[in-house]
Amino acid sequence: MTGLLYVVATPIGNLEDISARAIKVLSQVNRIAAEDTRHSSRLLQHLGINTPLVAVHDHNEAGRVQSLIEQLVAGENMALISDAGTPLISDPGYRLVAAAHQANIQVVPVVGACAAIAALSAAGLPSDRFSFEGFLAAKTSQRQTQLKALANESRTLIFYEAPHRILECVQDMAAIFGADRRVVLARELTKTFETIKQCTLAELCVFVESDTNQQRGEIVLVVDGAPEDSGLMAEKELDALLLKLLKYLPVKACAQLAAELTGHKKNALYDRALALQQMK
């Protein structure tokens, strides 16, 4: 029998945000693969768990995967945790989980905190469709290129950002997405200085610049998507088309043909064509 690989979410601040199932799994597995063993041993000590830890982080994951998979194949049960929140979400673990699937090892998620989802759930911005963008590039020019590529994205956008880059990042967003775009700053979620503020990007620039406390701690930005492009012809172009057609056709036929050409409603086109004809 091969072992199971549990992917276990841990708290993102408030230590009470760990599930009873997570505690049970972390106590019962043979080994816990942790991003930073010193950091995680504090959480485990708090929970009274003394399962052996093995370090799996960005710099050693590729080299460690093979031996961890061998232990799983030999029947050991293992849990994967990161420093905070859900492993693999802007955190290590992808290679291990991918290798587990290749080795036909069952991967079991033990769900819990994730800063992106916590921020979205409290943001009050459309949550039916969203795009998680993780961390933007640290270099200004690269970050601006990434933001330009997202300027017309209509889904709600979720970003993680480092506190020392937050002001620059929000200023770039205001310049590229538009100063009036709505945004939510979700800072220090589940912790003492939790801040959740919804405003425009222009207002957020002022808020963050004028209060340096807002440039500290852990931050998620949730940004409203761009307005949906309906794909329909704009009003000005529609008027130009109707005026052209009115030169050759009566109002009713003009509305009919314009409706077929543009997809706009015939009745609305009829009213507009009539108004344009009377203005002539």
Interacting residues toward ligand SAM by CB under 6 A:
12-13, 82, 84-86, 89-91, 114-116, 160-161, 186-191, 218-220
Shortest distance (Å) from residue 199 CB to ligand SAM = 17
Least Å distance, CB 187 to ligand SAM, is: 6
Count how many residues are written for the chain: 280
- Asked if 249 and 257 touch (Cβ cutoff 8 Å), the reply is yes
Q: Considering the complex, what minimum distance in angstroms separates the CB of residue 137 from ligand SAM?
A: 14
Three-state DSSP state, 157: strand
CA gap 195, 213 in Å, rounded: 10
- CA distance linking residue 274 with residue 252, whole number of Å: 9
Q: Which is nearer to ligand SAM, 23 or 89 (CB)?
A: 89
Closest contact distance (angstroms) between CB of 159 and ligand SAM is 8
CA 229 to chain CA centroid, nearest Å? 22
> Which three-class secondary structure state does DSSP give residue 81?
strand
Query: What three-state secondary structure class fits 78?
Result: strand
Nearer to ligand SAM, 122 or 249 (CB): 122
Residue written as token pair 């816990």: 32
Nearer to ligand SAM, 13 or 225 (CB): 13
Task: Give Cβ neighbours of residue 71 (< 8 Å, ≥ 6 apart).
Answer: 3, 30, 31, 78
CB 100 → ligand SAM: shortest distance, Å? 18
Q: Which is nearer to ligand SAM, 39 or 266 (CB)?
A: 39
Q: Which is nearer to ligand SAM, 3 or 93 (CB)?
A: 93
